[in-house]
Amino acid sequence: VRVSEVSRTGGAADHLLDAAAAASLVVVGRRVRRGTLGIHIGPVAHAVMHHATVPVAVVAHD
């Protein structure tokens, strides 16, 4: 698996969606909020899930 790291300024979701165009899978973390009911998906993961043209895996932080 080839992994790359890039640092940019601006909206994270927009940058991830741009990079996803050349990927076969996007993996994003989900924000954990204590005291809430159910699973909380943060705004970046939510945007990527709904707008990416490739599969998206959302993983919980330890």
Q: How many CB atoms lie within 10 A of CB 16?
A: 20
Whether 16 maps to a domain, the answer reads yes
Beta-carbon-side half-sphere exposure of residue 10 (alpha carbons within 13 Å): 9
Domain residue limits at 50 = 12-57
43 lies in some domain = yes
Nearby residues of 24 by Cβ (< 8 Å), 6 or more positions away: 54, 55
Please give the tally of structural domains in the chain.
Answer: 1
- Which tens digit of pLDDT belongs to each residue from 8-56? 999 999 999 998 988 999 999 887 666 666 667 889 999 999 999 999 9
Residue 3 lies in a domain: no
**0.85 surpassed by pTM:** no
Structural domain contains residue 6 = no
Residue 2 lies in a domain: no
The Cα 49–Cα 23 span in angstroms is 14
62: in domain: no
